[in-house]
Structure 1
Amino acid sequence: MTGRPGVGRNAREPGSAGDRTDGTGAQDAGSRAVAPASGPSVQAQAREADVIVVGAGPAGSSTALALAQAGLEVLLLEKDTFPREKVCGDGLTPRSVRALLAMGVDMDSGGGWTRTRGIRMISTGGRLELDWPDLVSFPSYGLVRSRASLDDALARRAVEAGAHLHQATSAVGLVRDDRSGRVIGVRTRHRGPGPAGEHGGDHGDDVELRAAVVVAADGVSSRVSLDAGLSRRMDRPLGVATRTYFTSPRHSDDYLETWLTLTDPAGRALPGYGWVFGMGDGTCNVGLGLLNAPGVNRHVDYRALLAGWLEPMPREWGFGEDTRTAPVTGAALPLAFNRTPHYVPGLMLVGDAGGMVNPYTGEGIAYALESGRIAADVLVQALGRKRASERERVLTSYPRALADAYGGYFALGRWFVKAMNHPSVMAAATQHGLSRPGLMRLAFALMGNLTDPRGDARDRILHALTRRPGS
């Protein structure tokens, strides 16, 4: 069935299981885990599809949802089982909210979503609260939700649309056409239960799955991309995030709070920020992110940096070891297209797998959700063509679609990251920036990528500046 016109769910009888699109969203997903759509593994299930999506995070679920809604047969593979943790600040900007609204996700307050009004910035130069801008293109509010429940909700939404989710299923290698070398599927391995119900090692024989196209949505380390020979670009920046959770009276704060005061042991300003995000459930997500340029800040002890930053915080905030509710964990932030190309024959990269993280802020969820939709739009058009040459011509347009969406913005961001890695530049920005609210509002719009193409003069300038050709 892979890639032939007229196949997929559109060819099924009306009312079949694959046609379920009940529109209920994910309002209860925060309280229960996603059940596998067709059993715990792919051992006894269909082994062909129109598209295989590897990874059921925001990028993978966004891709799978859009494809399933278009009537394509989609296999969505997740190496873990829901709910599962991911290192993240849990803050969703209006850009993320816009993408979630487009996906039909139910974001009523009773479903674990906490609204935010804007960002509070604190530095040696003062304190400034900036509300999310009132724009036509974006909602005027943000959200906070834990990644454990967010990813669960998004995967459930894809399943409701008809995608077939297989949890505890790892993609261990690509399948290629013997003659052309084109990617035509993946080899998978099911992870069975270990002692006391925990996940053990890989179990059973590898299972080969075939599809017209494979989508790599498996994160910054992207085993699928590496198997295709697509390594991280060393000339592009890689950030680092470290976070934990504390029980805190500040859990209901409706501003995302950022502290622009990170320093190394020698007292030099570091290019990044600390954050305190209230979860609305009695806890705060507290962490820090560093936006590194190539070869800079490689030897920072991030856990020690987090502990040192938290040490002078007021005791009544509860950011101490006795109120910590989760381990201190860290993850890499693949910034500004730091893995390319985003398409090789039969394989597309979305989200973190393709380095689609905002180089100014480290925000990745919005770009994961958006790139999944961009990839799905290209796939729907490609798989609707009758001839293989026509399908391939459409598929090869995907990198250009990404460059049109983000190329100029990410190119400017790479310059920004390099500039901020000079301690004197970062120190000047943190010491003097907050005393100039007009300048900070401009920077806020730029860094959040929140502009109206036909807005005021500021918006039009920023939009033109960040939509220049880039890659």
Structure 2
Amino acid sequence: MRSHDAAAGRRGPRRAQLQPPLPHGGRDDHRARDPRGALHAALAARHARAPLSPSPAHVDRHGGAGRRPPPRRRPADGAAGRDAERPRPPGKPRRARPPPAAGAGRGGVGLVEADPGVVKRVAIIGAGPAGSAAAIALRRTAGVEVVLLERKTFPRAKACGSGLSPWALDTLDDLGLGRAIRAAAYPIRAALIGAGLGAPVELRSRYQAAIYLRSDFDMLLAREAARRGADLREGVRVDALARHAGRLVGVSTSGGDLEVDAAIVCNGATSTLAPASRPGRTLNAIMGWYEGVEGISDAVELYFDPVVKPYYGWLFPESPRRVNIGICYAPTDGGPNALERFETFVATRFGRRARHATRIGRLVGHPIATTYRPAALSQHGTLVAGEAGRLVDPVTAEGIHHAMATGLIAGEMLGDVLARGLEPTAERLAPHTARVRRRLGAGLWTGQALLAVTRTPVLDWALRFASTRSMKSVLTWALARA
């Protein structure tokens, strides 16, 4: 197998140090400051005088501090969106509501009503699938300004198998992008499943999947969010969330301080902005791209080999000639390292098929944060979506569908709260975690159960008898639910 490093000059992105601050060696002095510094002092003073004042701070598209526009209000011409009044039967008077008393909210918590006429600003941190989906959902709500902050610039390299499951394609339909993605993607109509040294079994079903190069996919989603009105700002690093008396009041970025009314955290597995109490595990993935591998078809290939068990290695075709080969595994003390595992897997599964293949660029790796029970996905003014909340399938490590689905949930929920002129308190945003569990819970639990099965000889036994129609149906069902 020949290898040439087409991307030897590339260097992986630095991990941004975000709030809460992590221990560091002083390498980035500008990050060593207290994240509650000038931003917190200025915003806290302003919000102490007027807690629900409009958001005047502004950052231009290149991250610089801009002028402060005056407060903006929605036109009173019926364009109030969800705030528009429902028609009232003739002669039925409006029932007057007394102003809420302090501390009169549920559970003894005082819920402050926001002015529904003031445009609210929401920062979405991370313009991956979760952030872009959240931005698209929020732009359906009148009176919400969406600022989509992305640390890198598009097109950006992303270590990912680029697989879009049938459920991911369904979510793209909800975003209005399904037809365009299907037309441009490499179609997947089957899966080859293998374990041990036995021959793989082909599973076909009515569900269609697709492979769409991740760098192009992320850029397409972010550009679509911008086309629908989100303010996409590339090359902007978010260092901290600013809070005053437990309330979110702004974000500190590499381009200046930005006052916001709410934020959605979508900046991936290494996020330090999301709440810390997240049960789960962190896996490792390593992958590379090849041209000239023989036997490419319309099937993805998944192999639960001993070198990666209970997880798997894969081959995903991106075109008739180009494939992505990788492994997902749990690191162990004293076990083989990532490169040793990868080379063993490739030699075992693709030695003959890849004898004339060429590797494109370097091998790349990344962490995968997973959980089977999502938790702590909200606090005052803040929601979490995607891998920042460990929302990844625990066995297949698929994250694109989970990211887009939870981004939509977060955007719709926050949009509903803001459209009603309400402050996004912790109490009002608390149902977000339950909604995510309802949407993803069954799949996460099924994946956890399948993961337990792959730790035993049961999968090998099932594949041995997979030539029968009934066993193929069982395996197809399990894979579809995972």
- Per the normalisation by structure 1, the TM-score is 0.72
Q: Identity of aligned pairs, percent?
A: 23
Q: Could you say which residue in structure 2 is the equivalent of 1:302?
A: 338
Matches of 1:46 and 1:119, distance apart in 2? 55
Task: Give the whole-Å Cα distance in 1 for the aligned partners of 2:295 and 2:346.
Answer: 16
1:282 Cα deviation from its structure 2 partner: 3.1
The separation in 1 between residues aligned to 2:326 and 2:384, in whole angstroms, is 28
Answer whether contact 2:297 2:320 (CA < 8 A) is retained. no
Q: Secondary structure at the match of 2:267?
A: coil
Check 1:96–1:409 CA distance in 2 against 1; reply closer, same or farther (3 A cut).
Answer: closer
CA distance in 2, matches of 1:81, 1:239: 26
Gaps of 5+ in 1: 9-36, 135-139, 191-206, 265-269, 451-471
Q: Tell me which residue corresponds to 1:349.
A: 384
Offset of residue 222 of structure 1 = 0.6
Select the residue among 245, 267, 271 that pairs with 1:222: 271
Q: How big is the shift at 1:345?
A: 1.3
Q: Residues 282 and 54 of structure 1: is their aligned pair in 2 closer, same or farther, counting only changes over 3 Å?
A: same
Q: Is 1:163 aligned with 2:197?
A: no
Structure 2 unaligned blocks of 5 or more: 1-46, 70-118
Tell me what 2:248 maps to.
183
Aligned to 2:301: 257
Q: CA RMSD in A?
A: 3.1
* Residues 333 and 67 of structure 1: CA distance in aligned 2, closer, same or farther (over 3 Å): same
Task: Say if 1:170 and 1:449 are closer, same or farther in 2 by CA, change over 3 A.
Answer: same
- Asked if 1:335 is matched to 2:365, the reply is no
Letter in 1 for 2:463: G
Residues 216 and 350 in structure 1, CA contact (< 8 A), matched pair in contact too: yes
- Per-residue CA deviations over 1:405-431 (Å, capped at 9, x if unaligned) read 2234424544543554x4xx1x44235
CA distance in 2, matches of 1:162, 1:434: 53
AA aligned to 2:473 is R
Q: Which residue of 2 aligns with 1:55?
A: 126
2:135 aligns to what? 64
Q: SS of the residue aligned with 2:159?
A: coil
CA 1:413 to 1:125, structure 2 compared with 1: closer, same or farther past 3 Å?
A: same
Shift of 1:100: 1.1
- Among 187, 198, 208, the alignment partner of 1:115 is 187
**Is residue 279 of structure 1 aligned with residue 279 of structure 2?**
no
One of 402, 407, 413 as aligned partner of 2:436: 402
Name the CA shift for 1:158/1:307 in 2 (closer, same or farther; >3 Å): same
State whether structure 2 residue 257 is matched by structure 1 residue 208: yes
Structure 2 length as normaliser, TM-score?
Answer: 0.70
Structure 2 counterpart of 1:370: 405
- Are the structure 2 counterparts of residues 404 and 186 from structure 1 closer, same or farther at C-alpha, using a change threshold of 3 Å? same
Cα deviation for residue 261 of structure 1 reads 1.8
For 1:281 and 1:187, how far apart are their aligned partners in 2?
45
Match of 1:238 in 2: 282
Higher share of residues assigned helix: 1
> Which structure: larger Rg?
2
1:105-163: CA deviation from partner (whole Å, max 9, x where unpaired): 2644796411110211123333211123x3xxxxx311101111110111011011111
**Which amino acid in 2 is paired with 1:260?**
F
Superposition deviation, residue 254 in structure 1? 0.9
SS of the equivalent of 1:287 reads strand
Q: How does 1:2-13 map to 2 (within 5 A)?
A: none
Q: Could you tell me how far apart the structure 2 residues matched to 1:223 and 1:263 are?
A: 31
2:151 matches 1:89: no
* Equivalent position to 1:417, from 421, 430, 451: 451
Kept in 2, the 8 Å contact 1:77–1:166? The answer is yes
- In structure 1, what is the Cα distance between the partners aligned to 2:213 and 2:334? 28
The offset of 1:315, in angstroms, is: 5.5
